[in-house]
Amino acid sequence: MDQTTIIYFSGAVLAYLIGSIPTAVWIGRIFYHVDVRTKGSGNAGATNTIRVLGLKAGIPVLIIDVLKGWLAVYMAKFFWMSTTGFPDFIDLKIIYAIAAVIGHVFPIYVGFKGGKGIATLLGIGIALYPIAAFIALGIFIIVLLLTGYVSLSSISAAVTFPVVYIFILGQSQYISLMVLALAVAIFVPLTHRKNIRRLLKGEENKFRVNKN
């Protein structure tokens, strides 16, 4: 393994470790003596934190989880070496973005049981696809206000994301970014399989804020 490969690999490991920071679990345990993975939906993410512990706990979780994705992409500038042919700078950002999402879903610090990666994906989107990401966020908010289902809102935003990026905004200069956008549209529904089944059965819980 040459020096360049080691540098790139080290960055990917760091991105994974950043993504692995189990914000919901640590905030729940430290400040509320609760593991959010044992309550509500059992998901270690911002939505379940808000549902179980309230906005005071959930908002910091949301912000930090978004920042994890953004930071993983941003730090690629410190590892990229322009003298090499591969990966391209954009591709290196994507590699680190993927590493961060894997970290969030499978965090090494708490037994590889994490969240679904939506907030971290938003951070990645802001870093790589700013306009499309905010349009997708708007779609998420609209669907949430109309239905009350976070899962349906997440799926709707993810599925429409590549349509917005590729066809509405006409962004097609980077194949790797288009592939990643399409991957998001597949990844998010896959991580929400149980939610989809509950939605079809009319058993999915609507979003509620714990006001305690």
pLDDT, one tens digit per residue, over 105-157 is 999 999 999 999 999 999 999 999 999 999 999 999 999 999 999 999 999 99
* Tokens 């640590």 found at: 26
pLDDT over 70 (residue 189): yes
Tell me the average pLDDT across 71-90.
84
Q: What is the mean pLDDT of residues 69-95?
A: 87
Q: How confident is the model at residue 85 (pLDDT cuts 50, 70, 90)?
A: low
Pairwise CA distance, residues 207 & 148, whole Å: 6
What pLDDT shows up at residue 82? Answer: 66
Q: What distances in angstroms separate CA 203 from CA 52, 58, 92, one per listed residue? A: 19, 24, 41
Please list the alpha-helical segments (H only) found in 89-174. Answer: 89-105, 118-128, 130-147, 150-162
Sequence letter at residue 105: V
The proportion of the chain whose per-residue pLDDT surpasses 70, expressed as a percent, equals 96
pLDDT, average across residues 51-72: 96
Rounded to whole angstroms, how far apart are CA atoms 144 and 210? Answer: 17
Is the model's pLDDT at 1 over the cut of 80? no
What pLDDT score was predicted for residue 171? Answer: 81
Q: How many other CB atoms sit within 10 Å of the CB of residue 168?
A: 12
By CB atoms closer than 10 A (0-12, 13-18, 19+), residue 34 is middle
What is the model's pLDDT at position 50?
A: 93
pLDDT band at 4 (very low <50, low <70, confident <90, very high): confident
Where exactly are the structural domains of the chain?
A: 3-201
When the pLDDT of each residue in the chain is averaged and rounded to a whole number, the result is 93
State the pLDDT at residue 86.
65
Mean pLDDT, rounded, for 85-99: 89
Q: What is the pTM of this model?
A: 0.93
The whole-angstrom separation of Cα 53 and Cα 67 is 21
Q: Is the pLDDT of residue 84 over 80?
A: no
CA distance 77 to 67: 16
Residue 41: per-residue pLDDT: 85
